[in-house]
């Protein structure tokens, strides 16, 4: 069984945008943060962003965040581990700005 992700639809790679105070401060620099499929590499992410949003991608930085161990009523549980991609775009981001709250100051 291969851990390589097959790209049938780029929307299978990009799961959702990450919207927080920290990611909102990066918007002014043209950096957008997404939760992505853990098996996707930087090349897959770059191609998916280009196809979905029709923007030129300058660079992609990824990070794996391990799930926290949390106490539940019945004992201990584990939150899911996620992979984030910080995508830097060139020029006018256009449609990406709409996802992250429109006008960027």
Mean pLDDT taken over the chain: 87
- State pLDDT tens for residues 16-65: 999 999 998 898 888 999 999 999 999 999 999 999 988 899 999 999 99
What is the rounded CA–CA span in Å between residue 46 and residue 65? 20
Q: Reduced to 3 states, what is the DSSP secondary structure of residue 74?
A: coil
Place of tokens 């992410």: 45
- Name the band, by pLDDT with cuts 50, 70 and 90, for residue 2: low
Percentage of the chain modeled with pLDDT above 70: 85
pLDDT of residue 28: 84
The neighbour count for residue 7, using CB atoms within 10 Å, is 15
Q: Where are the beta strands (DSSP E) in 1-105?
A: 14-17, 31-36, 57-65, 69-72, 75-78, 82-89
- Note the CATH architecture for domain 10-92: 2-Layer Sandwich (3.30)
User: Residue 37 gets which letter from DSSP?
Assistant: -
Q: Indicate the pTM of the whole model.
A: 0.82
pLDDT band at 7 (very low <50, low <70, confident <90, very high): low
């Amino acid at each position: 069984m291969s851990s390589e992700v097959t790209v049938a639809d780029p929307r299978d790679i990009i799961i959702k945008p990450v919207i927080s105070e920290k990611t909102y401060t990066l918007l002014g620099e043209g950096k957008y943060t997404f939760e992505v499929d853990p098996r996707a590499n930087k090349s897959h992410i770059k191609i998916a962003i280009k196809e979905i949003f029709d923007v030129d991608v300058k660079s992609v930085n990824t990070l794996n965040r391990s799930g926290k161990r949390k106490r539940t009523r019945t004992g201990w549980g584990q939150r899911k581990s996620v992979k984030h991609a910080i995508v830097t775009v060139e020029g006018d981001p256009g449609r990406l700005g709409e996802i992250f709250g429109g006008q960027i100051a």
